[in-house]
Amino acid sequence: MKKHHPFRNLYLGLTLLFLYAPIAVLIVFSFNADANRSVFTGFSLKWYEKLFESDALIQSLVNSLIVAVLSSIIATIIGTYGALIIGKMRAKYRNMTINIINIPMINAEIVTGLSLMMLFVFLSIPLGFGTLLIAHVMFNVPYVIMSVLPKVKQLNNSTYEAALDLGATPGYAFRKVVLPDLMPGVISGLLMSFTMSLDDFIISYFTTGPGFPTLSVTINSMTKKKVPLSVNALSALMFVIVFVVLLIANLPKKGEKKNG
Amino acid sequence: MKNKLNKALRAVPLYVWVILFTVIPLFMIVFYAFFKVQDGGGYEFTMEFIQKSVTNGDYIHSFLISVKYAAVSTVVCLIVGYPVAYFLNQISERIRDFIMVLFLLPMWMNFIIRTYAMRSLMEKNGLLGFLWDFLGIKGGTLIGTEAAIIIGMVYNFLPFMILPIYTSLTKMDRGLIEAAQDLGANKIKVFTKVLLPLTMPGIVSGITMVFMPSVTTFVIPQMLNNKVMTIGSIIEYKFKQEASSTAVSGVGAALSMVLMIIVIISMTFVNRFSDAEEIREEKEKRRVN
Protein backbone atom coordinates (compact mmCIF):
# COMPACT_ATOMS: atom_id res chain seq x y z
CA MET A 1 0.00 0.00 0.00
CA LYS A 2 1.32 3.38 -0.89
CA LYS A 3 0.31 6.37 1.13
CA HIS A 4 0.67 9.90 -0.07
CA HIS A 5 1.80 12.55 2.30
CA PRO A 6 1.18 15.85 0.56
CA PHE A 7 1.71 17.96 3.68
CA ARG A 8 4.86 16.14 4.72
CA ASN A 9 6.42 16.40 1.28
CA LEU A 10 5.41 20.03 0.90
CA TYR A 11 6.92 20.89 4.29
CA LEU A 12 10.21 19.13 3.57
CA GLY A 13 10.27 20.65 0.10
CA LEU A 14 9.76 24.18 1.39
CA THR A 15 12.49 23.76 3.99
CA LEU A 16 14.87 22.51 1.32
CA LEU A 17 13.87 25.47 -0.85
CA PHE A 18 14.77 27.82 2.01
CA LEU A 19 18.15 26.10 2.42
CA TYR A 20 18.97 25.99 -1.29
CA ALA A 21 17.47 29.20 -2.70
CA PRO A 22 20.38 31.44 -1.69
CA ILE A 23 22.91 28.95 -3.00
CA ALA A 24 21.00 28.49 -6.24
CA VAL A 25 20.80 32.24 -6.81
CA LEU A 26 24.50 32.53 -6.01
CA ILE A 27 25.32 29.92 -8.62
CA VAL A 28 22.98 31.35 -11.28
CA PHE A 29 24.52 34.79 -10.97
CA SER A 30 28.02 33.38 -11.31
CA PHE A 31 27.08 33.03 -14.99
CA ASN A 32 25.85 36.59 -15.33
CA ALA A 33 27.25 38.69 -18.18
CA ASP A 34 27.78 41.82 -16.07
CA ALA A 35 28.39 42.63 -12.42
CA ASN A 36 24.69 42.90 -11.59
CA ARG A 37 23.48 40.67 -8.79
CA SER A 38 19.74 41.02 -9.36
CA VAL A 39 19.13 41.15 -13.08
CA PHE A 40 20.41 38.35 -15.20
CA THR A 41 21.65 40.09 -18.32
CA GLY A 42 22.98 37.12 -20.21
CA PHE A 43 24.98 33.96 -19.94
CA SER A 44 28.74 34.27 -19.73
CA LEU A 45 31.70 32.45 -18.26
CA LYS A 46 33.70 35.60 -17.71
CA TRP A 47 33.53 35.41 -13.90
CA TYR A 48 35.11 31.99 -14.08
CA GLU A 49 37.91 33.44 -16.17
CA LYS A 50 38.22 36.35 -13.74
CA LEU A 51 38.38 33.85 -10.89
CA PHE A 52 41.51 32.25 -12.26
CA GLU A 53 43.02 35.69 -12.78
CA SER A 54 42.19 36.71 -9.22
CA ASP A 55 45.37 36.13 -7.28
CA ALA A 56 43.69 37.01 -3.97
CA LEU A 57 41.04 34.31 -4.25
CA ILE A 58 43.25 31.58 -5.69
CA GLN A 59 46.07 32.30 -3.25
CA SER A 60 43.71 32.17 -0.26
CA LEU A 61 42.18 28.95 -1.55
CA VAL A 62 45.66 27.46 -1.76
CA ASN A 63 46.40 28.77 1.75
CA SER A 64 43.22 27.17 3.07
CA LEU A 65 44.07 23.86 1.46
CA ILE A 66 47.65 23.91 2.79
CA VAL A 67 46.44 24.57 6.34
CA ALA A 68 43.65 22.00 6.05
CA VAL A 69 46.00 19.26 4.80
CA LEU A 70 48.81 19.98 7.27
CA SER A 71 46.62 20.61 10.30
CA SER A 72 44.51 17.51 9.72
CA ILE A 73 47.59 15.29 9.36
CA ILE A 74 49.31 16.75 12.44
CA ALA A 75 46.09 16.67 14.45
CA THR A 76 45.54 13.06 13.44
CA ILE A 77 49.00 12.07 14.67
CA ILE A 78 48.66 13.97 17.96
CA GLY A 79 45.07 12.85 18.41
CA THR A 80 45.77 9.16 17.76
CA TYR A 81 48.66 9.25 20.20
CA GLY A 82 46.43 11.10 22.69
CA ALA A 83 43.64 8.56 22.31
CA LEU A 84 46.08 5.69 22.96
CA ILE A 85 47.30 7.41 26.14
CA ILE A 86 43.83 8.34 27.35
CA GLY A 87 42.43 4.89 26.58
CA LYS A 88 44.89 3.35 29.01
CA MET A 89 44.23 5.82 31.82
CA ARG A 90 42.24 5.03 34.91
CA ALA A 91 38.62 6.18 34.67
CA LYS A 92 39.04 9.08 37.08
CA TYR A 93 41.95 10.69 35.20
CA ARG A 94 40.46 9.75 31.86
CA ASN A 95 37.24 11.68 32.41
CA MET A 96 39.08 14.70 33.72
CA THR A 97 41.47 14.70 30.76
CA ILE A 98 38.65 14.25 28.27
CA ASN A 99 36.74 17.13 29.81
CA ILE A 100 39.71 19.45 29.41
CA ILE A 101 40.46 18.27 25.89
CA ASN A 102 36.83 18.82 24.92
CA ILE A 103 36.91 22.50 25.90
CA PRO A 104 37.66 23.88 22.41
CA MET A 105 34.93 21.66 20.96
CA ILE A 106 32.29 23.06 23.29
CA ASN A 107 33.52 26.60 23.84
CA ALA A 108 32.35 29.43 21.62
CA GLU A 109 34.66 29.71 18.61
CA ILE A 110 35.22 33.42 19.13
CA VAL A 111 36.51 32.69 22.66
CA THR A 112 38.79 29.90 21.42
CA GLY A 113 40.13 32.10 18.63
CA LEU A 114 40.70 35.09 20.89
CA SER A 115 42.32 33.04 23.64
CA LEU A 116 44.88 31.67 21.18
CA MET A 117 45.45 35.10 19.69
CA MET A 118 46.16 36.48 23.18
CA LEU A 119 48.61 33.66 23.82
CA PHE A 120 50.47 34.46 20.61
CA VAL A 121 50.47 38.18 21.36
CA PHE A 122 51.68 37.51 24.91
CA LEU A 123 54.54 35.40 23.56
CA SER A 124 55.20 38.04 20.85
CA ILE A 125 54.75 35.48 18.06
CA PRO A 126 53.70 37.33 14.89
CA LEU A 127 50.34 36.13 13.55
CA GLY A 128 50.57 34.24 10.27
CA PHE A 129 50.96 30.77 8.84
CA GLY A 130 52.55 29.24 11.98
CA THR A 131 49.97 30.57 14.43
CA LEU A 132 47.13 29.65 12.09
CA LEU A 133 48.44 26.10 11.77
CA ILE A 134 48.78 25.73 15.56
CA ALA A 135 45.23 27.04 16.03
CA HIS A 136 43.80 24.59 13.48
CA VAL A 137 45.69 21.65 14.95
CA MET A 138 44.46 22.74 18.38
CA PHE A 139 40.77 22.70 17.49
CA ASN A 140 41.09 19.52 15.41
CA VAL A 141 42.86 17.37 18.01
CA PRO A 142 39.75 16.82 20.19
CA TYR A 143 37.76 15.57 17.19
CA VAL A 144 40.48 13.06 16.32
CA ILE A 145 40.82 11.89 19.93
CA MET A 146 37.09 11.42 20.22
CA SER A 147 36.86 9.42 17.02
CA VAL A 148 39.88 7.20 17.77
CA LEU A 149 39.13 6.65 21.47
CA PRO A 150 36.24 4.18 20.95
CA LYS A 151 38.57 2.06 18.78
CA VAL A 152 41.26 2.14 21.49
CA LYS A 153 38.72 0.88 24.01
CA GLN A 154 37.92 -2.03 21.70
CA LEU A 155 41.58 -2.97 21.26
CA ASN A 156 42.51 -6.48 22.22
CA ASN A 157 45.79 -6.23 24.09
CA SER A 158 46.62 -9.92 23.78
CA THR A 159 47.11 -9.79 20.01
CA TYR A 160 49.72 -7.08 20.52
CA GLU A 161 51.42 -9.16 23.20
CA ALA A 162 51.22 -12.24 21.00
CA ALA A 163 53.02 -10.32 18.26
CA LEU A 164 55.73 -9.32 20.74
CA ASP A 165 56.05 -12.94 21.91
CA LEU A 166 56.46 -14.01 18.32
CA GLY A 167 59.44 -11.70 18.05
CA ALA A 168 57.97 -8.52 16.59
CA THR A 169 59.56 -5.27 17.72
CA PRO A 170 57.10 -2.96 19.54
CA GLY A 171 57.07 -0.60 16.56
CA TYR A 172 56.40 -3.38 14.10
CA ALA A 173 53.70 -4.91 16.30
CA PHE A 174 52.07 -1.48 16.63
CA ARG A 175 52.01 -0.93 12.88
CA LYS A 176 50.85 -4.43 11.97
CA VAL A 177 48.48 -5.23 14.85
CA VAL A 178 47.28 -2.12 16.66
CA LEU A 179 47.09 0.45 13.88
CA PRO A 180 44.83 -1.56 11.54
CA ASP A 181 42.26 -1.82 14.34
CA LEU A 182 42.41 1.93 14.93
CA MET A 183 42.29 2.82 11.24
CA PRO A 184 38.53 3.48 10.83
CA GLY A 185 38.66 5.97 13.72
CA VAL A 186 41.88 7.52 12.44
CA ILE A 187 40.46 8.00 8.95
CA SER A 188 37.23 9.52 10.16
CA GLY A 189 39.19 11.83 12.47
CA LEU A 190 41.38 12.88 9.56
CA LEU A 191 38.45 13.61 7.24
CA MET A 192 36.60 15.44 9.96
CA SER A 193 39.66 17.59 10.76
CA PHE A 194 40.17 18.39 7.11
CA THR A 195 36.62 19.61 6.61
CA MET A 196 36.50 21.46 9.94
CA SER A 197 39.69 23.23 9.03
CA LEU A 198 38.51 24.13 5.54
CA ASP A 199 35.21 25.40 6.89
CA ASP A 200 36.59 27.49 9.72
CA PHE A 201 36.33 31.23 9.65
CA ILE A 202 36.17 32.62 13.17
CA ILE A 203 39.26 30.99 14.66
CA SER A 204 41.30 31.67 11.51
CA TYR A 205 40.16 35.29 11.51
CA PHE A 206 41.72 35.89 14.93
CA THR A 207 44.84 33.76 14.58
CA THR A 208 46.18 34.55 11.12
CA GLY A 209 47.88 37.70 9.95
CA PRO A 210 47.54 39.76 6.77
CA GLY A 211 50.29 37.74 5.12
CA PHE A 212 48.41 34.46 5.15
CA PRO A 213 44.65 34.91 4.61
CA THR A 214 42.47 31.83 4.24
CA LEU A 215 39.64 31.73 1.72
CA SER A 216 36.92 32.58 4.23
CA VAL A 217 38.99 35.47 5.61
CA THR A 218 39.48 36.87 2.11
CA ILE A 219 35.82 36.52 1.15
CA ASN A 220 34.79 38.10 4.43
CA SER A 221 36.95 41.14 3.76
CA MET A 222 35.62 41.31 0.19
CA THR A 223 32.06 41.56 1.53
CA LYS A 224 32.96 44.91 3.09
CA LYS A 225 33.15 46.32 -0.44
CA LYS A 226 31.40 45.37 -3.67
CA VAL A 227 31.90 41.63 -4.04
CA PRO A 228 33.15 40.51 -7.46
CA LEU A 229 31.01 37.76 -8.95
CA SER A 230 34.12 35.60 -9.21
CA VAL A 231 33.36 34.80 -5.55
CA ASN A 232 30.11 33.30 -6.82
CA ALA A 233 32.01 31.37 -9.45
CA LEU A 234 34.38 29.92 -6.87
CA SER A 235 31.48 29.04 -4.53
CA ALA A 236 29.66 27.35 -7.40
CA LEU A 237 32.71 25.24 -8.25
CA MET A 238 33.19 24.26 -4.60
CA PHE A 239 29.54 23.41 -4.21
CA VAL A 240 29.51 21.22 -7.31
CA ILE A 241 32.62 19.35 -6.14
CA VAL A 242 31.16 18.67 -2.68
CA PHE A 243 27.80 17.77 -4.22
CA VAL A 244 29.32 15.18 -6.56
CA VAL A 245 31.59 13.70 -3.87
CA LEU A 246 28.76 13.36 -1.36
CA LEU A 247 26.41 11.97 -3.97
CA ILE A 248 28.89 9.32 -5.01
CA ALA A 249 29.59 8.47 -1.37
CA ASN A 250 25.93 8.22 -0.43
CA LEU A 251 24.00 6.94 -3.40
CA PRO A 252 24.61 3.28 -4.15
CA LYS A 253 26.15 1.27 -1.27
CA LYS A 254 23.50 -1.17 -0.20
CA GLY A 255 23.81 -3.06 3.06
CA GLU A 256 27.10 -1.56 4.11
CA LYS A 257 26.74 1.30 6.55
CA LYS A 258 28.94 4.36 6.65
CA ASN A 259 32.36 3.76 8.01
CA GLY A 260 33.99 7.12 8.21
CA MET B 1 57.71 0.22 38.79
CA LYS B 2 59.70 1.10 35.71
CA ASN B 3 56.67 0.29 33.60
CA LYS B 4 54.50 2.70 35.55
CA LEU B 5 57.03 5.49 35.19
CA ASN B 6 57.24 4.78 31.48
CA LYS B 7 53.49 5.00 31.17
CA ALA B 8 53.42 8.33 33.01
CA LEU B 9 56.25 9.70 30.88
CA ARG B 10 54.46 8.80 27.69
CA ALA B 11 51.50 10.94 28.77
CA VAL B 12 53.66 14.02 29.29
CA PRO B 13 53.60 15.38 25.70
CA LEU B 14 49.81 15.10 25.67
CA TYR B 15 49.52 17.13 28.85
CA VAL B 16 52.04 19.66 27.61
CA TRP B 17 49.97 20.10 24.45
CA VAL B 18 46.68 20.41 26.28
CA ILE B 19 47.99 22.79 28.92
CA LEU B 20 49.87 24.95 26.45
CA PHE B 21 47.13 25.33 23.82
CA THR B 22 43.88 24.77 25.71
CA VAL B 23 44.30 25.72 29.35
CA ILE B 24 46.81 28.56 29.20
CA PRO B 25 44.98 30.44 26.39
CA LEU B 26 41.86 30.53 28.54
CA PHE B 27 43.92 31.96 31.38
CA MET B 28 45.26 34.56 28.97
CA ILE B 29 41.74 35.94 28.64
CA VAL B 30 41.49 36.28 32.41
CA PHE B 31 45.00 37.73 32.54
CA TYR B 32 44.36 40.44 29.97
CA ALA B 33 41.01 41.23 31.58
CA PHE B 34 42.72 42.08 34.86
CA PHE B 35 46.17 43.30 33.84
CA LYS B 36 46.97 46.44 31.95
CA VAL B 37 50.09 46.70 29.83
CA GLN B 38 52.18 49.57 31.16
CA ASP B 39 54.04 51.95 28.90
CA GLY B 40 57.36 50.63 30.18
CA GLY B 41 56.41 47.07 29.29
CA GLY B 42 55.35 45.64 32.67
CA TYR B 43 51.86 44.63 33.75
CA GLU B 44 49.69 46.31 36.32
CA PHE B 45 46.61 44.87 38.05
CA THR B 46 43.42 46.73 37.27
CA MET B 47 39.68 46.36 37.80
CA GLU B 48 38.99 49.03 35.20
CA PHE B 49 38.24 46.69 32.27
CA ILE B 50 35.97 44.31 34.07
CA GLN B 51 34.15 47.20 35.70
CA LYS B 52 33.60 48.85 32.32
CA SER B 53 32.36 45.67 30.73
CA VAL B 54 29.68 45.04 33.32
CA THR B 55 28.56 48.61 33.95
CA ASN B 56 28.72 50.29 30.54
CA GLY B 57 25.19 50.59 29.17
CA ASP B 58 26.23 49.88 25.58
CA TYR B 59 27.86 46.61 26.54
CA ILE B 60 24.95 45.49 28.70
CA HIS B 61 22.61 46.35 25.86
CA SER B 62 24.66 44.32 23.40
CA PHE B 63 24.72 41.31 25.74
CA LEU B 64 20.96 41.52 26.05
CA ILE B 65 20.20 41.85 22.35
CA SER B 66 22.63 39.03 21.54
CA VAL B 67 20.75 36.77 23.91
CA LYS B 68 17.46 38.00 22.45
CA TYR B 69 18.38 37.30 18.81
CA ALA B 70 19.94 33.95 19.70
CA ALA B 71 16.92 32.92 21.75
CA VAL B 72 14.43 33.89 19.02
CA SER B 73 16.50 32.08 16.37
CA THR B 74 16.77 29.00 18.55
CA VAL B 75 13.01 28.91 19.07
CA VAL B 76 12.37 29.40 15.35
CA CYS B 77 14.86 26.61 14.53
CA LEU B 78 13.11 24.33 17.00
CA ILE B 79 9.65 25.07 15.63
CA VAL B 80 10.76 24.69 12.01
CA GLY B 81 13.26 21.90 12.61
CA TYR B 82 11.28 19.52 14.80
CA PRO B 83 8.68 18.71 12.12
CA VAL B 84 11.49 18.34 9.57
CA ALA B 85 13.21 15.75 11.77
CA TYR B 86 9.90 14.04 12.45
CA PHE B 87 8.94 13.83 8.77
CA LEU B 88 12.44 12.71 7.79
CA ASN B 89 12.13 9.84 10.20
CA GLN B 90 8.89 8.80 8.50
CA ILE B 91 10.27 8.68 4.98
CA SER B 92 10.86 5.18 3.65
CA GLU B 93 14.35 3.98 4.45
CA ARG B 94 15.21 3.58 0.81
CA ILE B 95 15.50 7.30 0.17
CA ARG B 96 15.84 8.61 3.74
CA ASP B 97 19.64 8.74 3.82
CA PHE B 98 19.66 10.54 0.51
CA ILE B 99 17.15 13.17 1.67
CA MET B 100 19.18 13.60 4.85
CA VAL B 101 22.27 14.32 2.74
CA LEU B 102 20.26 17.00 0.92
CA PHE B 103 19.58 18.67 4.26
CA LEU B 104 23.23 18.50 5.29
CA LEU B 105 24.77 19.53 1.99
CA PRO B 106 24.39 23.30 2.49
CA MET B 107 26.45 22.93 5.67
CA TRP B 108 29.40 22.01 3.50
CA MET B 109 29.37 25.45 2.00
CA ASN B 110 31.60 27.77 3.93
CA PHE B 111 29.74 29.76 6.59
CA ILE B 112 30.92 33.06 5.11
CA ILE B 113 29.75 32.06 1.64
CA ARG B 114 26.36 30.98 2.97
CA THR B 115 25.85 34.30 4.74
CA TYR B 116 27.01 36.18 1.66
CA ALA B 117 24.53 34.17 -0.42
CA MET B 118 21.76 35.14 1.98
CA ARG B 119 22.79 38.78 1.73
CA SER B 120 22.77 38.73 -2.07
CA LEU B 121 19.25 37.38 -1.90
CA MET B 122 18.05 40.03 0.55
CA GLU B 123 19.73 43.12 -0.90
CA LYS B 124 17.77 45.98 -2.37
CA ASN B 125 19.06 45.07 -5.80
CA GLY B 126 18.92 41.38 -4.94
CA LEU B 127 16.26 38.91 -5.93
CA LEU B 128 13.99 39.55 -2.95
CA GLY B 129 14.18 43.30 -3.45
CA PHE B 130 13.19 42.72 -7.06
CA LEU B 131 10.25 40.64 -5.85
CA TRP B 132 9.26 43.36 -3.37
CA ASP B 133 9.28 45.92 -6.19
CA PHE B 134 7.15 43.62 -8.27
CA LEU B 135 4.65 43.33 -5.42
CA GLY B 136 4.57 47.09 -5.18
CA ILE B 137 6.53 47.47 -1.94
CA LYS B 138 8.84 50.34 -2.79
CA GLY B 139 12.49 50.17 -1.84
CA GLY B 140 11.86 47.10 0.21
CA THR B 141 14.88 45.29 1.57
CA LEU B 142 15.36 42.99 4.50
CA ILE B 143 18.93 44.16 5.01
CA GLY B 144 19.15 46.22 8.18
CA THR B 145 16.06 44.75 9.80
CA GLU B 146 15.83 42.55 12.86
CA ALA B 147 14.25 39.88 10.67
CA ALA B 148 17.39 39.78 8.55
CA ILE B 149 19.48 38.73 11.56
CA ILE B 150 16.98 36.09 12.61
CA ILE B 151 16.67 34.69 9.08
CA GLY B 152 20.44 34.67 8.73
CA MET B 153 20.85 32.74 11.96
CA VAL B 154 18.07 30.27 11.17
CA TYR B 155 19.44 29.77 7.68
CA ASN B 156 22.94 29.02 8.96
CA PHE B 157 22.11 26.93 11.99
CA LEU B 158 18.84 25.10 11.20
CA PRO B 159 20.58 21.82 10.28
CA PHE B 160 22.21 21.84 13.74
CA MET B 161 18.71 21.57 15.18
CA ILE B 162 17.34 19.03 12.72
CA LEU B 163 20.20 16.55 13.02
CA PRO B 164 20.22 15.77 16.77
CA ILE B 165 16.41 15.58 16.93
CA TYR B 166 16.42 13.28 13.93
CA THR B 167 19.05 11.08 15.62
CA SER B 168 17.03 10.73 18.80
CA LEU B 169 13.93 9.92 16.72
CA THR B 170 15.73 7.14 14.86
CA LYS B 171 16.87 5.68 18.19
CA MET B 172 13.27 5.63 19.42
CA ASP B 173 11.24 2.44 19.24
CA ARG B 174 8.38 3.19 16.86
CA GLY B 175 6.23 0.64 18.66
CA LEU B 176 5.96 3.06 21.56
CA ILE B 177 3.82 5.47 19.58
CA GLU B 178 1.54 2.69 18.41
CA ALA B 179 1.32 1.34 21.95
CA ALA B 180 0.31 4.77 23.24
CA GLN B 181 -2.31 5.09 20.48
CA ASP B 182 -3.66 1.61 21.23
CA LEU B 183 -3.98 2.58 24.85
CA GLY B 184 -6.19 5.47 23.80
CA ALA B 185 -3.82 8.45 23.74
CA ASN B 186 -4.78 11.17 21.28
CA LYS B 187 -2.26 12.94 19.06
CA ILE B 188 -1.45 15.63 21.60
CA LYS B 189 -0.96 13.09 24.38
CA VAL B 190 1.29 10.99 22.16
CA PHE B 191 3.38 14.07 21.47
CA THR B 192 3.68 15.36 25.02
CA LYS B 193 3.95 12.01 26.79
CA VAL B 194 5.95 9.92 24.33
CA LEU B 195 7.64 11.87 21.57
CA LEU B 196 8.75 14.92 23.51
CA PRO B 197 10.36 13.14 26.50
CA LEU B 198 12.12 10.61 24.28
CA THR B 199 13.54 13.24 21.95
CA MET B 200 14.53 15.58 24.79
CA PRO B 201 18.27 14.77 24.52
CA GLY B 202 18.15 15.65 20.82
CA ILE B 203 16.24 18.86 21.47
CA VAL B 204 18.72 19.90 24.13
CA SER B 205 21.75 19.25 21.90
CA GLY B 206 19.99 21.10 19.10
CA ILE B 207 19.30 24.09 21.33
CA THR B 208 22.95 24.23 22.41
CA MET B 209 24.25 23.87 18.90
CA VAL B 210 22.06 26.69 17.60
CA PHE B 211 22.18 29.03 20.59
CA MET B 212 25.95 28.97 21.08
CA PRO B 213 27.05 30.10 17.62
CA SER B 214 24.10 32.52 17.43
CA VAL B 215 24.81 34.31 20.68
CA THR B 216 28.49 34.82 19.82
CA THR B 217 28.31 35.55 16.09
CA PHE B 218 29.55 38.78 14.60
CA VAL B 219 29.49 37.79 10.92
CA ILE B 220 25.71 37.60 10.61
CA PRO B 221 24.96 41.05 12.06
CA GLN B 222 27.89 42.59 10.17
CA MET B 223 26.68 41.28 6.84
CA LEU B 224 22.92 41.49 7.27
CA ASN B 225 22.32 44.37 9.66
CA ASN B 226 25.37 46.36 10.63
CA LYS B 227 23.41 48.82 12.74
CA VAL B 228 23.10 46.13 15.39
CA MET B 229 26.09 45.62 17.66
CA THR B 230 25.88 42.17 19.17
CA ILE B 231 28.39 41.25 21.84
CA GLY B 232 30.33 39.31 19.20
CA SER B 233 30.51 42.44 17.01
CA ILE B 234 31.74 44.56 19.92
CA ILE B 235 34.47 42.07 20.82
CA GLU B 236 35.47 41.75 17.18
CA TYR B 237 35.59 45.54 16.89
CA LYS B 238 37.72 45.88 20.04
CA PHE B 239 40.28 43.39 18.80
CA LYS B 240 40.40 43.78 15.06
CA GLN B 241 39.56 47.40 14.45
CA GLU B 242 40.33 49.42 17.56
CA ALA B 243 43.49 47.64 18.66
CA SER B 244 46.47 46.85 16.47
CA SER B 245 47.21 43.22 15.77
CA THR B 246 50.10 43.23 18.22
CA ALA B 247 48.07 44.55 21.16
CA VAL B 248 45.28 43.10 23.21
CA SER B 249 42.24 45.15 24.12
CA GLY B 250 41.69 44.97 27.87
CA VAL B 251 37.99 45.74 27.62
CA GLY B 252 37.74 43.18 24.80
CA ALA B 253 39.37 40.57 27.04
CA ALA B 254 37.03 41.43 29.91
CA LEU B 255 34.00 41.19 27.61
CA SER B 256 35.25 37.84 26.28
CA MET B 257 35.62 36.65 29.85
CA VAL B 258 32.04 37.62 30.65
CA LEU B 259 30.92 35.92 27.44
CA MET B 260 32.89 32.81 28.41
CA ILE B 261 31.25 32.77 31.83
CA ILE B 262 27.81 33.04 30.23
CA VAL B 263 28.73 30.16 27.93
CA ILE B 264 30.04 28.04 30.83
CA ILE B 265 26.92 28.67 32.90
CA SER B 266 24.58 27.81 30.05
CA MET B 267 26.67 24.74 29.18
CA THR B 268 26.58 23.41 32.75
CA PHE B 269 22.86 24.01 32.74
CA VAL B 270 22.45 22.17 29.44
CA ASN B 271 24.90 19.43 30.43
CA ARG B 272 22.42 18.24 33.00
CA PHE B 273 20.28 17.09 30.10
CA SER B 274 22.83 16.20 27.49
CA ASP B 275 26.55 15.68 27.28
CA ALA B 276 29.48 16.82 25.25
CA GLU B 277 29.80 13.39 23.70
CA GLU B 278 26.42 13.77 22.08
CA ILE B 279 27.26 17.18 20.65
CA ARG B 280 30.48 15.82 19.23
CA GLU B 281 28.61 12.91 17.67
CA GLU B 282 26.25 15.33 16.00
CA LYS B 283 29.04 17.52 14.70
CA GLU B 284 30.78 14.47 13.36
CA LYS B 285 27.65 13.24 11.64
CA ARG B 286 27.16 16.46 9.83
CA ARG B 287 30.72 16.28 8.54
CA VAL B 288 31.44 12.67 7.78
CA ASN B 289 28.25 11.23 6.51
The answer, yes or no, to whether residue A99 has pLDDT greater than 90, is: no
Alpha carbon distance B152, B69 (integer Å): 11
φ/ψ (deg, to 5) at A43: -80, 135
Total Cβ atoms within 10 A of residue A247: 14
Query: What residue ranges do the domains of chain A occupy?
Result: 56-216
Determine whether the interchain pair A246/B105 forms a contact, defined as Cβ–Cβ distance below 8 Å.
yes
- Its ipTM equals 0.85
- Report chain B residues whose CB lies below 8 A from the CB of A89: 11
CA-to-CA dists, residue B139 to A132, B117, B128, B142, B152, angstroms: 43, 20, 11, 10, 20
Q: Which fold has domain A56-216?
A: MetI-like fold (1.10.3720)
**Coil vs helix vs strand at B34:** helix
Show which of residues 199-238 on chain B sit within 8 Å of chain A, judged by CB atoms: 212-213, 215-216, 218-219, 223, 232, 235-236
Alpha carbon distance B228, B238 (integer Å): 15
- Report chain A residues whose CB lies below 8 A from the CB of B236: 110
**Coil vs helix vs strand at A43:** strand
- The answer for residues whose C-beta is within 8 angstroms of residue B155's C-beta and 6 or more apart is A18, A19, A22, B114, B118
Q: pLDDT tens digits, residue range A164-216?
A: 899 888 889 888 888 898 999 999 999 989 988 998 999 999 999 889 999 99
Look at residue B83 in the predicted model and tell me its pLDDT: 95
Q: Which of A23, A95, A118, A220 has the highest number of chain B CBs within 10 A, making it the mutation to test binding with B?
A: A118
What residue type is A26 in one-letter code? L
Name the H helices within A102-214.
Answer: 103-106, 109-122, 129-154, 157-165, 170-173, 179-199, 202-207
pLDDT in tens, chain B (289 residues): 567 777 778 889 999 999 999 999 999 999 999 998 877 778 888 888 899 888 988 999 999 999 999 999 999 999 999 999 999 988 888 788 888 888 888 888 888 999 999 998 887 766 676 666 666 666 667 788 889 999 999 999 999 999 999 988 988 887 888 888 888 888 888 888 888 888 888 898 899 889 989 999 999 999 998 888 999 999 999 888 877 666 778 899 999 999 988 887 877 777 666 555 566 666 666 654 4
| Cβ–Cβ < 8 Å for A116, A203 | yes
